[in-house]
Structure formats: structure tokens, C-alpha cells
Amino acid sequence: MNPTLTPTIDYLRISLIDRCNFRCTYCMPEEADLTFAARGDLLTAAELLILLREVFIPCGFRRFRLTGGEPLLRPDIVEIVGAIAAFPETQDLSLTTNGFRLASVAKPLYEAGLRRINISLDSLVPATFDQMIGHRGKSRWPEVWAGIQAAHGVGFDPLKLNVVVIPGVNDSEVLEMAGLTIDRAWHVRFIEFMPIGNGDLFADRGWIDSEMIRSQIRDRWGLTSGQVRGNGPADVFQIPGAKGTVGFISQMSECFCDRCNRMRLSADGWLRPCLLNETGQINLREGLRSGQDLGELRSVVAAMVGGKPEINYKMRDAGTTGGYGRSMSQIGG
């Protein structure tokens, strides 16, 4: 382990719910046998806030991202955002959503203190989009696009669009997606498909590495280095003269485990040090509900934070992303 490269572990991804109103083929494929947490097993807003105030913030966490499943399915999402934003120690608060319910809550979320948002948009073609989210019937693309426009209108900055690139499905749209950043201060992030919890669904397709996508964009417009505010692992570039940026999250081809600065809290209260490694996971909900001393919980979390860099380097050296039985929605990826 190289201590000069050891990241500060101050970023917590918080899954608020493991359910979603989409069944994206790379996350919650229809073929998958998914078991969701009982509603009574989900952390309540009050329990989450106690853990943040009494455990995570004292352990040094200052940056928080709300995820799911789909976090906008939580009826108390605006209240949760407002409470976390109000902590004086909170340095950054963001949210990842599929955007379907965003148009109606974009303004309340912004007024509650949320400033950064990531929206999944895997295709600009409604039929392809619906195929990728596992939807049949009236297209859901217009509602998602309306949510993006609403988020832009109220002032979310940065506004990021997440694109999981699947060979033979949406890879032909790379240039059109990148082109969204030219006239808009939007930040499109291309994400390499990761085979987590989806079995052999894409075994015949494989995945497209980020360098291939960069080459397409570079050949069309050129690319320069870029910057955008965030806590994640994206490598950021910019089309010359563009208002926004293009980013690449390349876990498959360019492992960034040794740079990981995050831990994950699942909707049912499990704290995990790594997306791909459950070593040392603990159930904070059980401790909280059984009346375990909060100081003891802090000590357990602090110990996990201290061991996180070693896990990072082990995962980097292993060079693997397989062997995980839970879906992305269940992990809170």
C-alpha cells in the first residue's frame, strides 16, 4: 500500500430504498430473482439522521450521495435532503435518480438544499430507452426528459447525465450523447457496463472500454482536459469550446479501486466498505434498534474506515469485478 496515494474516506453513498420503478437490464433484469427488503427493515428517516449525526459525521464523513433503487420513491425524500443539507458539517450533498418523478420535485429538492444531481439517461431514442429500462407500453422517455429540463431550469449545477454503454444497444449514440455538452452546461458520463448481479445477461455482448468511446469523440471534435465538481472516479474531458464536459467511469478497463474514497450504506442499514467486497460489513440498523451504544457503533465504523485503504489495494491487485450475487439496486451502487 502506498500511503502517499491513500484517499481520505469521507464520502458516504446512502441507499434510501432498494426498489425502483424501472427494471434496467444492466441493474434489475427481468430474469433476475430479486428479493427486496421488507419496509420495516428499511432505515427510517429518523434512524438515518441519527446515524449521520452521531456516527458518520464524527467519523469524518462530510460528503453524501443519496441513491437507491430509486430515491424519489421515498415519500420523505425532500425532508431527508433538507435535514442532511442543514448539518453544518455537510460539505457536499448530491442525488442519483432515474428522473421519472423528477419534474415535480426538482424545485422542492433544490429549495431543500440539494445542488448536485445525476440523472440516468441511457438513450435519446425512446424505443431504445424503454428497452433498456425494461418497460413496455407508453414510453417513459418524455417524463425523464422533462425531469432533466426541470432540473436544469431550477439551477442544479453540475447536472450530470449517466450513460451505461451496451454494445449493440446504445453504443451508436455516443456522439449524440457527447454533443449534448456543447451548447448546454451538462456533464455526460459514460459508464462501462459492470456484470454485477445480472448473471450472463450480456455474456454475448461484452462491454465497451472507455478509450474506444473517447476515440470516437476525439476523432469527431477533439478532446481537452476538463473539470467538474464531484466526488467520484470519473476521468473528465471537454470538447473544445463546449459548455459542459464528458466523463468516463472505467472500472472494467482502468481499475480505480486504490483511489476509492467512499463507503456504502444500504437501505436496510448494512454498511459496506466496497461495492465488490463485503468483508467486515456491519448492520447498523440492528445495532441502533437493539439499543447498542452509539459510541460503540462509532468505534466499529471508525475501524472499518481505518481498514478501507487496505481493501482498496487488495481489490486493485485482484483485478476482478465478479462474484457479487446482489444487484446494483440492492447494493445501492
Could you give the CA distance from residue 190 to residue 121 in angstroms, rounded to a whole number?
10
pLDDT of residue 333: 52
Could you give the CA distance from residue 333 to residue 329 in angstroms, rounded to a whole number?
7
- Edge-to-edge strands, sheet with 282-283: 224-225, 235-238, 245-249, 186-192, 159-165, 116-120, 92-97, 63-67, 11-15, 262-265, 270-272, 282-283
What domains sit in the chain, N to C, each tagged with a CATH number? 3-328 (3.20.20.70)
Q: What is the pLDDT of residues 130-184, one digit of tens each?
A: 999 999 999 999 999 999 999 999 999 999 999 999 999 999 999 999 999 999 9
Q: What is the pLDDT of residues 19-68, one digit of tens each?
A: 999 998 888 777 667 789 999 999 999 999 999 999 999 999 999 999 99
